[in-house]
Every structure is written in C-alpha cells, then in structure tokens.
Structure 1
C-alpha cells in the first residue's frame, strides 16, 4: 500500500514537472517575440525616407524604438509567420531599436526628414518606468505563481517521503529501530533456541521481570535495566534476544549499533533519544542493540584528536538514557557484541548493563540439540548418526551447524539422491572446513608422493600417541589451499596437561619428519603445521606457565590492553630464555616423531602407498595396518559403533 502511494506521488511529480517545463519554454519563447532588431542611425533614416515607419518612441533620451507600418511588415526579415498572424488587427509590433548620443541633434535631423519627405511619423518620449506593478504581474505573474506552486508541491513531497523508503531529509534524527510486536509474523520462543542452556536460564529471569514485575518490586527489588550478551559470531545472541521478546510477548525494538552512526553532527544522539521515547510509549518492551561495540567503544583511545567526537556523543546520550530510566518503566535493554574487551567501562557498570551473559560456542550435548533442530526440515536416511556429527564439529557455532545441514542437502541433491546420507554431512563438513575439493588440480607424481608420505606421517603418529586426536580419515585430494589433509575427532577438554600439548605438537611435526625420513629432505608443505606448532609451544612457555625455566609466570593480558603496550612485559634476558625454551620443545617433539616413524617405517610406507592408490583412507584402513589403537577410550568406543556410517 505504501509503495502504491509513493508511486502515485511520483507520477504526479512528473506531471507537474512537465507542465512547469512547458510554461517555462513558452515564457522564454514569448520573450523572444519582442526582441527588436538592432540598427544604426543611418539605417533608420534610410528606412524613414522610404515612408515605412509608423512611429518612434524615445526612451530615457538614449534609446529609440521603431514601429513599422502594417503594409511593410512582410518586408521585415525579423518577422516570422507566427508574428504576422499574432499581430493582425492589433497595434504594430516593435521592429527596430538603436541608441542615440545627442537627443537634440537627432530630433533636429528627424524633423528635417519629416519636412523633406512629407512624413506623418509620430515621435513620442517616455522617461518614466516602463513597468508598473500591475503590468508586471499580468506579464510575468502567471509564471511566478506556477513556480511557487511547483516548489510548494516539491517541498510537501519530500516531507511525505521522509517517513518512507528513500526520503530521510526531514526524519534523519529519527530512530531506525524495527519494531516486532504481537501483530508481527515473527514468533520465536526458547523452543526454537537449541543449546545455550546456561544463557537461557539467565535470560529467563528477564522474561519473568517483564511478565510479572510486581513479584520482584514488592520486595524492594529493582528490575534490571540491561543485559549484555557476549560471545563469538554465530553463537545465537540475536536469536536469544528475539526468543526473550517472544516468550515475554512484549514489543521488541531491534537495530544495530551502526544505525546510530551518521555523517551529520548530532544525529546519533537524536536517534538514541527518539528510540527511548518510542520504547517508553510501548512499555513494557525490549530494546535490542546488536553489535553495540560500533558506538560503545571505550572513549579517549583514538590516536587522532576529535576523530571520534560524534561517536562519543552518541555513547554519552545512550549512557544518559539508560541511567535515566525509572524502576517502573519496564523497558529492558539487551545488547550483543563479540568484542566486549573494547567496550567503555561506564557502559558495563551496574545500573546500565546489570547482567553480563556469556554465549559460548555449544558443547557436545548442545551441538546434538542444535543438529536436531536443523535436521527437522531435512529428508534423512536411517544411517545418519547425530552424535557422530556433533563430535565431528568441535568449536562450531549454531550458524556453522545450520550451514553444515544446508550444505549436506545441496550435496545430496547434486548427487541426485532422494535422502541425505551420513557421508553427505561428512562431505559438507570437509567442504566448510577445508574448502572446495579440487580433483582436477595438476600435481606432479613426485609431489603427489611427497604429499602422501606427509599425510601418512600425521596419521601414524596420531594413531600411536595416547593424547593425540583419533583419526577419522586422511586424504591427498587437494581441497581449498591444502594439497592434502588428515581429519581427526578431537577430544573436548576443559583443561589440558603438558603431555597432551606435547603429543599434539609431535603429531603436527610428523608430516615433515616423514618427508625427511623417506626423501632425506623437507619441503614447504609443512607451513600450516609449523605455524600451529610455534603457537602451541609459545603458549606453553609464555601463557600457561608450563615451562620449568620460566616458572609459574604468565605474560598473558586478559584485559585486551596489550595492543596499546608496545613494549614487552619481560626483559631481553627473559626473551632469550623464552626463545630457547620454545625451540627446545619443538626440537624434542620433532626428534620424537622421527624416532616413532623410523620404528614403524614399513607401516608408514604401506600406508602411503595405499593412500596413493585410493587417495582417501578411513579409520578402518589404519586398523588393517596397525591393528586396534592401543589407547582405547570412550571416543574410540563411539567410533566403533558408527564405523559403518563412515565407510
């Protein structure tokens, strides 16, 4: 309906524009009719001697206007057919004009010509103003009236469009928040939010505040003014906020922190005021500000003076509005960010955001619940194992899991299947983590052989070490930027011991160790492995205090202020010790991996040859070569139950 009205307004606008243009053309065209031809005095007296002039008018003693007789109009080249028709039966039109220097001399000469040629030409003098107000209005009034009406219409159109799409000139200070209420089709409750059990428990209390505030206020308690959702991208912060509004059944204002930002001074603060005014009218309600770090960044940390004044003004207005709420207003502000470390401290104090709710990536049981939600709409085969898929996706957020489910459906459809199989989910996980499979990539035989031994080295060490992640499959098919890869089923730990970290470093270095054992040289293929190894060893020494020489010291800054400190928090002597200990850890694990591979060189060669033959090997293939894994645990037991799904 709004689009139709805007369309009609646009049509009327063009009609008025065309009419205005037509009158403008007529005005200038009409003005051109009365433009006389310029001549000199000699030409005038020549025409005068031929008895063609009806009269002349001398204006202001210097300009002479010449009017011809009707019978001589055809001879005048300045008159077209339109002029002739127009002036039939009317006063003769102005034809010529010229300027004179001495009026007395001109007048004497004119009288001489009249006597000499017996002329009846009339001379008239006009020294007063040519146009009176009345005459000017009749000549040009219509044009100016149309011009004024046109601008009034244009002004009203811009004002009307200011409240709709595309017109923001007169409502630039208005809030851009989108309102969800009981009339909206978006209905989300806690049933639609899988996992996030801890976060749901905390926000459930906010729902109770909005549903029955008297339950808390009668005991003297105050309703919290705000809650801040903190977590990585895709973990469900926005979804959780919408579920709060759905459960409480109250109006829900949703907008982003960047919606307050504008190039004009004072607009951000004006939008904050307008937002809170609307919220008070809809009370009880919820205001949800997504990505609040866009305006909530800590003040006074910009290197350029005055570069963030407008953002700080917006933040100051937000702080004022939140602090100005009364206890009986029943408006709660929810905000979400994944960069809580850079937020202003005044924003996080009690009385503004009273609650800080952590929305972490889902754990194993929570991922199972999230998979169940997204699998409801999919056509699945019987061999799909949700528990195995949940273990295959450690660190995945809810958005990542939704992407896996969608990608698996696309892969199954690409293969013309009627149902989605377990392998389709595994392919989808590989696609998301590793990238697109590149089967047509040209690789030289000697390079392919080196890649096979590199990946086989990873597989052997991960199989033989106790704390290494269990292998799921290994492949030498290029995918994304990698030429080969080994897929593991990592154990989800809450704490990690030095032995576990060293086993992981050893498994990462096994690829380069296998290359050195077989080819007596190494290649650049271990770049990603070395990067991860260096970070792992560095964290053991510098962050977690797991080194004997450094001791129980951590140089980690959890406040996030280390970016502004350009000096190292330790001396040069300590820095040298850190470098030595990092190199020592890596060297020890590299020699350890070489020793293990040399003791199992025959099995390494057999595994690499089978990998060259099949390109993809699964856990069952390693069992045929190495036997059962010597370190069985609950993960291994789970894999035994679902091995048929993998193959």
Structure 2
C-alpha cells in the first residue's frame, strides 16, 4: 500500500492486548480436557455382556474405579483376535503397552457386582484379575481450586475500572490513570469543522476573538514587536447565547487542536485528582501547541475561595483552582496555548482568576438583537421545509429576548406543530403557535371552569388590556386570551420596544398595567381573588428594583444596594431605619399605581364590560378587536416591536 506521495506505508501492526494471554491459556485448558479425555476411550458395553465375556474366558483383568462406578475390561490376547471383539480393539489414540482397556461399563452396587463376578468365574480355570483405583483430573482440580481467586481478581478489576471512570484504553480508564485529564481533543484536520460562518449573530464577540485567531495563525506578527501572548479569554453571557459554539469556531478558524471539557470534569471523589488533571491537561496542550483549551462552566471550580465557611481547610475544589491559577501563570509566553472559558456566573469567580495575565479579557456574549436574531433564524430555518413567502424579519420581531438556543427550539417546535397538523410545509402560524407554546406553556383546554370563575378571569384580563391601551408608556397590546396555558389561567400578550434604558415613567406604567387585573376585579365584583399571584410577584420585583437597585426613588435617594457577588452575606448593607423606609416606599409605589388603575377603569367601565363579554364569547381576541371597541390608541404606533412578554394570572 502506498500513500499519495507514492511512499510505501507500513501496515499497522495490531497492538498487544493482555487478554490474548488469558484466551490462549483457556484454549490450552479446553484442548487438554477434550483430547486428554478422548485418548484411550474404550468401547462401551453392559454388565450382562461383560459377564458373558467372563464365562467365555475372554477377560484377563477388570479394574474397578471406585469414585466413578466404572469398570475397565482388559481382554486376553487370544480373545482380542476373535471376530466378536473387533469393536473392542484399541483405537488410534491408544498408547502402546496394553494400558488401554478394551471395554468399559457402569455398574451399580459394588458389593453385588463383586458377588456376581465371583459366581460367574468360580468354575473357570483362570479367573480374571480384579484391581481397584481412583481417577482424578489434575487440570480440572487445579482449575476448581483457582476459580475463587480468579473471580475475586475479576471483580476487583471491574470495580477499579468503574471507580476510575470506565474505559479500558483511554486516559483515566485504569486506576493508575485516574489523574489524567478527561478533555476531549478535537483534531484540527478532522474534527474541528466549525467556523465563524456557522455562528450567526454575535458580531461584536466575533470581532473580539478574531485577534486570538489571528495570533494563533501568525504569532510572529505580535512577538516580533515585543507583544506577549494573551493567556486567556473569558466568554460571559446568559445560557444558550452560543459561548461554546463561538469557542469551537475560534479553534476551527485558527486550525489548531482544541481541548474541550467542563469544569465538573476536574471533580472526583479522590483527593488531589482535580489538580492532577489540570497538570495533565496543560501538559497535553503544550505538547500539541499551538492549541486552545476550552473550559465550559468554569464556575464549577473557579468560585471565589474562602466564601463557604462550612468547607474544610483542605477543600478539593480550592486545590483544583490553585493548580489552575499556577498553570495559567506558570507556562511560558511562547508556548502558544490559549485558555478560553465560558460561564454565566462571572460574578462568583475568584478575583485571582480574573486578573490580567490569566484571563486577560472578558468577552460578553449577550442576547441577540433584531438583526442578529434574523441571521440566527436563517441558519436554523435551512433544514426546515418552509412555506413560500415566509417572512424571516417578522419572526425575528416576534422573538425579542430569545437566545440562539431558544430560536433553535422555536424552529423545531414549529416543525413539530406543522407535522402534528399533517401539513406539507411549516407556515407562519406554526411559528406563532410555537412562540405561544414556549412562552406561555402548553394549552390546557381540558380545564373546566365554573361560570363565575370564567367571568372573573375574563374581567381580570380585560382590566390588563384596558389599562395598557390608555397609558402612554405601556407596551403595545397584541392579544388577550382566557385559554389557560401552563400555570396561567389567562394572559394579555404584549410586544414592547427593544430598549436599553428604562425611565421612571415606564416602570410606573408597567406596574399600573400589571395591577389592572386586580383593579378590575375590585371595581366589578367589589372583592379580589388569588388569581393575581404572578401579578403581585412582578410588581413587587419592579418596585423593589426601582428603590434598591436603580436609585429611582426620591426619598431613598441615589444609592444602590445591588450585591451580585453576595459578598454582604447575611448582613444588610443598610440600617434598620433605611430598611423601614425601603419597605414603605415599595408599598407606596404599588398602592399608588393600583389606585391609579382603579380610577382609569372607573372612567372606562362601559368598554371594560364590552371587552370582558367578548372574551367570554370568543376566549381569544386580537388587536383588531381592541381597536373596534376602544378606537385607535392615542399613544401606540404600528412600528416593529421586539420584546415578547405576557401578564399572567395564576
């Protein structure tokens, strides 16, 4: 066999396996048992025929084997020449010397057999010689004696393999290799196929990592000017935004080996294993440099040290982190090994891990904007059979706040819905149904409500819709439904604009809209229900954020008590007097907007009733129905909207 360059290629020799020895020994043992027992096999006969041979004087000797109740018959020389004993002649395997019997047979009771033999042979001039012996199998007895030891050794090997992570040949497969790294290596020539073309969106993040790619391709461009290799880059962002995919694309673009593993892969039940695996990982990477090490969910081992008072002084996780810090700070600047890590909890990472010289830069991978969502949709829509004229821009506007993983799930869910309805292609409505399914939950039309409950839910959702229609900073309303989905009994769906800052007026109008459902119940029925649980959770969270995080309350002032890392622990960062002020202001904001919603609904009571009655009749109404009842909104326009939310009722 020759390669492309016409050079002879030596065929690969099979690797030696110790199990071959075990198999060979087993075959030898079986051969000895089979052929050893077949050598000297004699012709079978019966006791009655044997006694007939004795009467004829043909038997020279009888050997009785006590432990098997078998008798071996040896004929005289003259008898062997008789035609009747042709079958009793020794076979080809018989050894010379007359040690092989001519016949064998089984007998019953030994005493009865001896008595019968004496009676038959008493009149003979030359009586048969009678002998006794006991047979045993040397190899069989040896095997039976060693069998318990073999079983114990096999069980021990099995347990050790399971404890060390299984696998026979790879690193970590044997008990002595438990400290080996579990990183999966993607070879640049065969495995790493992902490039930046496969990563839709993330334009800002791709620009930042492009420098890393350029360095791995042309390191001399930077080192000739005295620049140093960046040690690491930390990808930070919400779940599902494509951090792992971006790291793979970096390796694919740079065409270098890519070591991928999770932070939890360093954790093991044995002390010191995590640190050993870190050392082995960097050793492998330096041998294949230039290379990339990617550690996903690095917060599993990179949490700030000393925060957990319950842990002992010899915390295995801290030992692993210390070794990681040493390796990142220890290997030379010319090893061409770059560490990429991903986490959605950068606030809990140890400060020593984040300093310059280890993770030199943080790359924020945020949720995609409108343009990026459109690009992501185009990637995930390729394998689907789409209906002609499907507007990708419309889909991207309906899914603000969705991550790349959410969009992939949405496309798959739309295809499943279309298949469930026996359609030949996935249509626009299938995607809208998939959005409802993902955001609101599974539709539950099987829930049976009483007339009073259905009326209460209808007025509750009508209250949300009416208040939002007449407030300037409220989000545009899309539809209202009293069909239960997930935990909600009904919902008013909104599509607000995608903005990066929120003013006080926006917060207050949103709180007022959320309290509109409970306000409608109070206004129409004179009493309230437990259906507003999710509403109360939402408004409490928003009012608390206004007062404690964003500094949007005049009495509390321009201060924030936001503590993302949890460094304050159980100690409040404010006094008891300030705590009382915060409680009062949060309650005041909510109650003021609740009364504002009641006053607005009082002035719109007639159209509130009309909307509730139409909801009871149709269960789902859309923006066109609202315009028919309320008229054109004085504040809303029909510009593209980008965030999908819902006001739920428990």
- TM-score in same-fold range (> 0.5): yes
2:356 to 350, 368, 374: 350
2:182 to 176, 185, 189: 176
Residue of structure 2 in register with 1:596 after alignment? 600
The question of 1:222 aligning with 2:228 is answered yes
**What is the distance in 2 between the residues matched to 1:139 and 1:393?**
75
The equivalences for 1:236-385 within 5 A come to 236-306=242-312, 309-382=315-388, 384-385=390-391
**What is the distance in 2 between the residues matched to 1:161 and 1:549?**
65
**What is the distance in 2 between the residues matched to 1:167 and 1:280?**
22
TM-score by length of 2: 0.75
Contact 2:171/2:181 (CA < 8 Å) preserved in 1? no
**What is the distance in 2 between the residues matched to 1:538 and 1:156?**
59
Residue of structure 2 in register with 1:499 after alignment? 505
Q: Residues 639 and 363 of structure 1: is their aligned pair in 2 closer, same or farther, counting only changes over 3 Å?
A: closer
The question of 1:475 aligning with 2:475 is answered no
The equivalences for 1:17-96 within 5 A come to 79-82=66-69
Contact 1:383/1:422 (CA < 8 Å) preserved in 2? no
Unaligned runs of 5+ in 2: 1-13, 34-60, 74-97, 101-137, 643-650
The question of 1:630 aligning with 2:634 is answered yes
Please give the per-residue CA displacement for 1:236-295, whole angstroms capped at 9, x wherever unaligned. Answer: 100000000111111111111111111112211111111111111111111101011111
The question of 1:611 aligning with 2:595 is answered no
Q: Which protein is richer in helix relative to its size?
A: 1
The question of 1:512 aligning with 2:518 is answered yes
Q: Residues 17 and 455 of structure 1: is their aligned pair in 2 closer, same or farther, counting only changes over 3 Å?
A: farther
* 1:337 Cα deviation from its structure 2 partner: 0.8
Q: Residues 207 and 166 of structure 1: is their aligned pair in 2 closer, same or farther, counting only changes over 3 Å?
A: closer
Contact 1:162/1:170 (CA < 8 Å) preserved in 2? no
Contact 2:236/2:364 (CA < 8 Å) preserved in 1? yes
The question of 1:405 aligning with 2:405 is answered no
**What is the distance in 2 between the residues matched to 1:536 and 1:187?**
45
Contact 1:537/1:586 (CA < 8 Å) preserved in 2? yes
Contact 2:398/2:641 (CA < 8 Å) preserved in 1? no
Contact 1:383/1:421 (CA < 8 Å) preserved in 2? no
* 1:632 Cα deviation from its structure 2 partner: 3.3
Contact 1:611/1:617 (CA < 8 Å) preserved in 2? yes
**What is the distance in 1 between the residues matched to 2:445 and 2:283?**
60
Q: Residues 22 and 300 of structure 1: is their aligned pair in 2 closer, same or farther, counting only changes over 3 Å?
A: farther
Contact 2:172/2:182 (CA < 8 Å) preserved in 1? no
**What is the distance in 2 between the residues matched to 1:639 and 1:303?**
48
The question of 1:458 aligning with 2:460 is answered no
Contact 1:20/1:150 (CA < 8 Å) preserved in 2? no
1:253 aligned counterpart, secondary structure? strand
1:546 to 539, 552, 556: 552
1:638 aligned counterpart, secondary structure? coil
Residue of structure 2 in register with 1:422 after alignment? 428
**What is the distance in 2 between the residues matched to 1:393 and 1:615?**
24
Residue of structure 2 in register with 1:573 after alignment? 577
Please give the per-residue CA displacement for 1:12-58, whole angstroms capped at 9, x wherever unaligned. Answer: 9689679989999xxxxxxxxxxxxxxxxxxxxxxxxxxxxxxxxxx
Residue of structure 1 in register with 2:49 after alignment? none
Contact 2:29/2:139 (CA < 8 Å) preserved in 1? no
Contact 1:226/1:353 (CA < 8 Å) preserved in 2? yes
Residue of structure 2 in register with 1:234 after alignment? 240
* 1:591 Cα deviation from its structure 2 partner: 1.0
Residue of structure 1 in register with 2:131 after alignment? none
Q: Residues 206 and 186 of structure 1: is their aligned pair in 2 closer, same or farther, counting only changes over 3 Å?
A: closer
Q: Which shifted more, 162-171 or 373-382? A: 162-171
Contact 2:181/2:277 (CA < 8 Å) preserved in 1? yes
- The number of residues matched between the two structures is 536
* 1:168 Cα deviation from its structure 2 partner: 3.5
Please give the per-residue CA displacement for 1:392-415, whole angstroms capped at 9, x wherever unaligned. Answer: 222211101110111011111111
Q: Residues 18 and 220 of structure 1: is their aligned pair in 2 closer, same or farther, counting only changes over 3 Å?
A: same
**What is the distance in 2 between the residues matched to 1:431 and 1:549?**
42
1:203 aligned counterpart, secondary structure? helix
Contact 1:162/1:171 (CA < 8 Å) preserved in 2? no
* 1:84 Cα deviation from its structure 2 partner: 6.9
**What is the distance in 1 between the residues matched to 2:445 and 2:154?**
65
Contact 2:188/2:258 (CA < 8 Å) preserved in 1? no
**What is the distance in 2 between the residues matched to 1:163 and 1:21?**
29
Q: Residues 396 and 15 of structure 1: is their aligned pair in 2 closer, same or farther, counting only changes over 3 Å?
A: farther
* 1:162 Cα deviation from its structure 2 partner: 3.0
Unaligned runs of 5+ in 1: 25-70, 91-136, 641-647
Q: Residues 543 and 532 of structure 1: is their aligned pair in 2 closer, same or farther, counting only changes over 3 Å?
A: same
* 1:617 Cα deviation from its structure 2 partner: 0.8
**What is the distance in 1 between the residues matched to 2:241 and 2:432?**
21
Please give the per-residue CA displacement for 1:310-361, whole angstroms capped at 9, x wherever unaligned. Answer: 1122111111111122121111010011111111111111111111111111
2:515 aligned counterpart, secondary structure? helix
Residue of structure 1 in register with 2:400 after alignment? 394
Contact 1:20/1:147 (CA < 8 Å) preserved in 2? no
Q: Residues 495 and 138 of structure 1: is their aligned pair in 2 closer, same or farther, counting only changes over 3 Å?
A: closer
Contact 1:252/1:287 (CA < 8 Å) preserved in 2? yes
Q: Residues 348 and 21 of structure 1: is their aligned pair in 2 closer, same or farther, counting only changes over 3 Å?
A: farther
Contact 2:440/2:485 (CA < 8 Å) preserved in 1? yes
Please give the per-residue CA displacement for 1:590-622, whole angstroms capped at 9, x wherever unaligned. Answer: 111111111111111111111111111111111
Please give the per-residue CA displacement for 1:430-449, whole angstroms capped at 9, x wherever unaligned. Answer: 11111110111111111011
* 1:186 Cα deviation from its structure 2 partner: 4.6
